[in-house]
Amino acid sequence: MLHDALRLIRVFHNMRQIKLAEKLRLSQSHLSEIEAGRKQPTIDLLQKYAEVFDMPLSSILYFAERRDRKGKSAVGEAIAKKALQMLSWIDVITDDKKKLSHS
């Protein structure tokens, strides 16, 4: 779930992957692998990510928590999934608007 959140936060802020990679001081291919879930980001990288987007690190780490399906943690996971769905929806709407403006 963390990799989806990282990608969607970047997209929400209308930042291209190459620009974010420069700000984070890593290669675009490494960032691509993190956003695809093939590599795990370090806590230092997540802190830089939080600084770039001016948000608390705890907000990003929320998506990284391992959740037990029993009790309150399942509710937290449902909330996190809904947040990702909202960011995905914003991504789709933004992409559609870009396509219309180029027509």
Query: What tens digit of pLDDT does each residue of 42-65 get?
Result: 999 999 999 999 988 988 887 776
59-89 confidence digits (pLDDT tens): 888 777 654 444 445 545 665 666 666 666 6
Q: What fold does the segment set 2-101 form as a domain?
A: 434 Repressor (Amino-terminal Domain) (1.10.260)
* Letter string b/e over residues 18-30, b meaning 16 or more CB atoms within 10 A of that residue's CB: eebbeebeeeeee
3-state secondary structure 68-103: CCCCHHHHHHHHHHHHHHHHHHHHHHHHHHHHHHCC
Measured CA to CA, the distance from residue 91 to residue 18 in angstroms comes to: 18
Q: Return all residues near 9 (Cβ < 8 A) that are at least 6 apart.
A: 49, 53, 55, 60, 87
> What are 78's two structure tokens?
């449902």
pLDDT exceeds cutoff 70 at 25: yes
Q: Tell me the pTM.
A: 0.66
Token pair 């970047």 is found at 10
